[in-house]
Chain A
Amino acid sequence: MKTLIWMAPLLLLCGCAGARCRITARTVESPVSCTGCVFDPQGRPHQTRPDELVSHFTLAKAHYAMLWTAVPLNSKEWDLSEELNSKIRAASGNAVVNVTIHATGGEWYFTPLIPILPDYVSMKVEGDIARIPDTQQ
């Protein structure tokens, strides 16, 4: 009984915190590759050369959740399509290559203890816009 009495406050002080997010880019018309390779209009693999890369981009977002991840404060999905389409148009490119995703989870030690405090995961997406010439003339 004594053990239960001193363990009860300890259990009350335990908790968990966190955040989740899904990254997608389903509706981009041009290829969005995480590697430096895409297929050319004839279906042959094409490794992009440095001279074909016309611009570099970075997109960042933080996703918050509270009450031990039960209440997300942002949309559960981060669709990059709109942002990527506008970057492609702005650079007059026809492919997105070398996409990397960087996620950082950060928290104060007390955020899991107080579930009303929101916790977050911050995400950074980097990549290059490429302009690949159509070789078939």
Chain B
Amino acid sequence: MRRFLAGFKKLRNPVVGIGIACPQLTLIVALLGLCGCQSVTYDVRRVPQPILLNQNPCVAGKSAFPPQVVNIGDDYTAKVAQSETVAATSQNTTVTIQRAANQAQVNAFNKIGGQPNRLIRGLTLDVSFMAVNGLIVLSQNTEIQAHGDIAEVHAAVPTNSPVVSP
């Protein structure tokens, strides 16, 4: 209390006075004013095969024999995430822990890499942001969760089988 009053008297500005006198209060007020901003990017442009948000992998054309696309019963999941935890310590300092994960390209390569007729289709992307506040601990996590089906394209081969009429 003495320290608080001394700080208050020493500086005529009461806000600064309170700040010097009570560093814990300053820390809490500073934390209240903080804002966090985290970004994640789902980027798989280096994968040499299609990863589709819809179902159709083929460009429209005049082909008389459109290729068949068949799901092979396997699926693709990947997570791109970034998280940050900021905690206030007793010495008026903060500790920051950052974590990041990006499985998007690696998982895609593992599922369809090296097989030129394979693709990922029906991709859905679940974007989420969560923040947990424990007054002196702030933790936030931004992530993109991708899910899609693995499929194969089979080019239709025209056959010369005779057309039998009844």
Contact = CB atoms under 8 A, between A and B. Distances in A.
Interface stretch (B11-19, B30-38, B90-98): B30-38
Contacts of B23: none
A33 to B, nearest CB: 5
Given A16-B131, A17-B131, A27 B54 contact: yes
B56 A30 contact: yes
Nearest to A45: B116
A82 B123 CA distance: 17
Contact of A100 (B42, B116, B133): B42
Contacts of A38: 50, 57-59
A29 B60 contact: yes
Contact of A14 (B42, B122, B134): B134
A48 B117 CA distance: 16
- Chain B, interface size: which category? 35 or more
Given A27-B54, A107-B36, A121-B127, A39 B135 contact: no
A134 B129 contact: no
A39 B118 CA distance: 10
B90 to A, nearest CB: 15
A67 interface: no
A69 B126 CA distance: 14
Interface string B121-160: 0111111111111110010111110000000011110000
Nearest to A81: B54
A8 interface: no
A121 to B, nearest CB: 4
A53 interface: no
B130 to A, nearest CB: 4
Given A14-B133, A14-B134, A34-B51, A105 B142 contact: yes
Interface in B21-70: 31-63, 65-67
Contacts of B156: 43
Contacts of B52: 31-34
B47 A35 contact: yes
A22 to B, nearest CB: 5
Interface of A: 10, 13-47, 63, 69, 80-81, 94-95, 98-113, 119-121, 123, 132, 134, 136
Interface of B: 31-63, 65-67, 116-117, 119, 122-135, 138, 140-144, 153-156
